[in-house]
């Protein structure tokens, strides 16, 4: 891990192919957010338009202008026709006259009003002496009245500038019947769509540029300086508790792929543990929803299947969530740590039987040995009856130290399910019981800087990180060659009532499997490898 800190802040070279892939992947996940944003923006914008809408009416008139200037006199012999110089002059002068304070006062006098309830504008028709004048007002009658007054009094003001002026009406004014600013909801929706699309695209591109997640096996080496020990495919299971299995159903194609991936992972883990003389392995992750509990359960299962003569134990030390305990508490190979360590507490009624009373009278090492003897064909699970609000006390308790010491002496392989490293400090305490750490990383989920921080922090405790697992791997959108199966993967609930992030329940397949067939298949795989 010597170069982790240097790798952390190295910017990647922009790869347009990867960027496009990430953009499409993010859009596929968040398309409903974009659609919802479009609908919300459209509704709000249209409602705002309707609420603030004030109808206005426009009255128009068109006319030609005849003057007694030198330009007009020059053209007199030709009658009344277009003179470019004269028209050019009037096109510049007339708008100025209409906006002047003098003309405004004259209009007020003509209308008998204290203010002009409208806006006057003039437009010169290019290459002609034809002009159009329009008045926009909130009242259609006022629009026509102002327009008539302007046409009537314009020559009176114009003679001081361009001489005697006569307006020849081509199109008279009329009272408008329809607003000139009617709301076009179709246009509004199109505008909202364009704005939402551009904004969503920019946000997705920015997010894709800065997400920096782990997506491939190569990322383990390049970004984390860590050995990738296995790639586990994404498997879809049920959403309701109790409706989904614990293990992948090997009767399906998806289940077979998951099972083979877990078998290969367990084989590599066992070899690594043997080479490094590791007996207690902690399975952890950076954040919630990485799938580390499911990996721990299946890892213990397949290690036992490949080593039937070895004693394999699985301990649920995620004391805030107890994912493993809740999934396996009804199995015959499950044992409560509370009862095993002789803690004084109210136990559930189903636990009060002769067998439990006999166990409580035994010493810790005898209890552990008896559990392995009673379950020779399965791994033994140690869990808790209820979540703990202060797991630090339990993890630092002398009874826990004694239990781990006895278990280490009896079991051959011990798998510990640990809480996420970035959420609690519990993994730092659990690492003191462990010889090695297996880091579970969900594909394209957690920012790699968060992962690096967790790895660096836990490495300072002196515990060896044997490698990582790329979990819930999906088929790439643009690279079909990179395929680990496009499968769903579990459900995730809340991390509990203690204020932690989402962190869920897991389940895979049926627990009741053909053990003989399982054992033979795994041993064949091990020999072949």
Beta pairing, strands 57-67 & 130-137:
antiparallel
Q: What backbone phi and psi angles, to 5 degrees, belong to 374?
A: -75, -20
In this prediction, residues 375-393 reach a mean pLDDT of 90
Q: What is the DSSP string of 433-498?
A: G-SEEEEEEETTTSBHHHHHHHHHHHHTTT-EEEEEEEEEE---SS-TTS-S------------TT
pLDDT of 27 above 70:
yes
Distance CA 215, CA 397 (A): 39
Q: Which residues, 6+ apart, have CB-to-CB distance to 190 below 8 Å? A: none
Cα distance between residue 302 and residue 519, in whole Å: 9
What structural domains does the chain harbor? 17-52+183-208 (no CATH), 57-171 (3.30.70.1130), 212-528 (3.40.50.300)
Q: C-alpha distances in angstroms, 476 versus 223, 255, 479, 503?
A: 19, 20, 5, 25
Looking at residue 213, the DSSP 8-state letter turns out to be: B
For residue 106, give the nearest of 171, 168, 160 by alpha carbon: 160
Compute how many other C-beta atoms are within 10 angstroms of the C-beta atom of residue 195.
Answer: 15
Q: How far apart are CA 451 and CA 489, in angstroms?
A: 21
Q: Residue 495: pLDDT above 50?
A: no
Q: Which of 149-154's residues contact partners 24+ apart within 8 Å by CB, and which partners?
A: 149/107, 149/110, 149/111, 150/98, 150/103, 150/107, 150/120, 151/61, 151/63, 152/110, 153/103, 153/106, 153/107, 153/110, 154/94, 154/97, 154/98, 154/103
Residue 465's pLDDT band, with cuts at 50, 70 and 90, is: very high
Contacts of 311 (CB under 8 A, 6+ apart): 372, 380, 410, 411, 412, 413
Which DSSP letter does residue 362 get? Answer: S
Q: Taking the alpha carbons of 339, 342, 347, 349 in that order, is the dihedral positive or negative? A: positive
Name the residue with higher pLDDT: 508 or 517.
517
Confidence of residue 237 (pLDDT cuts 50, 70, 90): low
- Reported as a single tens digit per residue, the pLDDT across 311-321 is 999 999 999 99
pLDDT computed for residue 127 by the predictor = 72
Q: Which of 60-69, 215-224, 267-276, 357-366 has the lowest mean pLDDT?
A: 357-366
For residue 239 the two structure tokens come to 């959403």
Q: How far apart are CA 507 and CA 236, in angstroms?
A: 10
Distance CA 234, CA 470 (A): 10
Average pLDDT over residues 260-272: 94
pLDDT exceeds 70 at position 376: yes
Coil, helix or strand at residue 288: coil
Candidate from 94-108, 123-137, 343-357, 376-390 with smallest mean pLDDT: 343-357
Q: For helices 515-528 and 253-275, give the axis angle rounded to 10 degrees.
A: 60
> How confident is residue 339, by pLDDT bands cut at 50, 70 and 90?
confident
> What is the pLDDT at residue 8?
44
| Strand ranges across the sheet with 130-137 | 119-124, 130-137, 57-67, 165-171
DSSP 497-524: TTS---------S-S---HHHHHHHHHH
Q: Which residues pair with 516 in a beta bridge?
A: none
- Entry pTM: 0.62
- pLDDT at residue 247 greater than cutoff 90: no
Find the angle CA(390)-CA(393)-CA(399) to the nearest 5 degrees.
135
- DSSP class of 147: H
CA distance 68 to 66: 7
Return the H-helix or E-strand segment holding 366: helix 364-374
Closest CA to 90 of 147, 128, 135: 128
Count helices and strands in the chain by DSSP H and E runs: 19, 12
Task: Please state, rounded to an integer, the average pLDDT across all residues of the chain.
Answer: 78
């Amino acid at each position: 891990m010597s170069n982790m800190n240097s790798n952390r802040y190295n910017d990647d070279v922009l790869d347009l192919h990867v960027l496009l892939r990430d953009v499409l992947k993010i859009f596929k996940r968040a398309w409903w957010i974009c659609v919802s944003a479009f609908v919300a923006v459209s509704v709000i914008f249209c409602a705002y338009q309707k609420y603030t809408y004030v109808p206005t009416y426009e009255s128009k008139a068109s006319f030609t202008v005849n003057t007694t200037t030198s330009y007009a006199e020059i053209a007199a012999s030709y009658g009344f026709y277009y003179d470019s110089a004269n028209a050019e002059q009037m096109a510049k002068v007339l708008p100025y006259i209409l906006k002047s304070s003098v003309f405004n006062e004259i209009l007020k006098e003509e209308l008998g009003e204290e203010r002009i309830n409208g806006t006057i504008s003039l437009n010169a028709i290019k290459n002609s002496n034809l002009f159009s004048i329009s008045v926009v007002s909130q009242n259609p009658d006022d629009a026509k009245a102002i327009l008539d007054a302007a046409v009537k009094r314009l020559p009176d003001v114009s003679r001081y500038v361009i001489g005697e002026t006569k307006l020849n009406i081509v199109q008279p004014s009329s009272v408008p019947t329809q607003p000139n600013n009617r709301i076009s909801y179709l246009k509004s929706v199109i505008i909202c769509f364009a704005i939402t699309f551009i904004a969503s695209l920019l946000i997705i591109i920015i997010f894709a540029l800065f997400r920096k997640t782990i997506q491939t096996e190569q990322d383990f080496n390049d970004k984390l300086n860590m050995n990738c020990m296995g790639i586990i495919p994404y498997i879809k299971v049920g959403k309701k508790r109790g409706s989904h299995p614990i293990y992948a159903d090997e009767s399906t194609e998806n289940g077979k792929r998951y099972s083979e991936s877990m078998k290969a992972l367990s084989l590599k883990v066992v070899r690594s543990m043997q080479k490094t003389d590791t007996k207690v392995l902690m399975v952890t992750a950076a954040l919630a929803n990485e799938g580390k509990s499911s990996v721990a359960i299946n890892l213990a299962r397949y290690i036992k299947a490949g080593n039937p003569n070895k004693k394999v134990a699985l301990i649920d030390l995620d004391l805030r969530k107890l994912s493993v305990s809740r999934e396996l508490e009804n199995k015959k190979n499950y044992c409560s740590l509370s009862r095993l360590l002789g803690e004084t507490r109210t136990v559930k009624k189903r636990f009060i039987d002769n067998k439990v009373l006999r166990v409580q009278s035994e010493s810790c090492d005898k209890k552990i040995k008896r559990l392995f003897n009673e379950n020779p064909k399965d791994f033994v699970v140690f869990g808790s009856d209820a979540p703990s609000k202060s797991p630090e006390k339990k993890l630092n308790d002398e009874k826990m130290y004694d239990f781990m010491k006895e278990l280490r002496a009896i079991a051959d392989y011990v798998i510990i399910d640990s809480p996420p490293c970035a959420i609690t400090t519990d993994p730092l305490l659990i690492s003191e019981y462990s010889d090695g750490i297996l880091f579970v990383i969900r594909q394209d989920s957690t920012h790699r800087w968060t992962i690096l921080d967790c790895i660096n922090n836990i490495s300072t405790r002196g515990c060896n990180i044997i490698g990582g697992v790329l979990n819930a791997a999906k088929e790439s959108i643009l690279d079909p060659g990179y395929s680990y199966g496009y499968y769903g993967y579990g459900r995730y609930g809340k991390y509990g009532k203690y204020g932690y992030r989402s962190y869920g329940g897991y389940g895979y397949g049926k627990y009741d499997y053909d053990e003989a067939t399982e054992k033979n298949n795994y041993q064949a795989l091990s020999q072949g490898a």
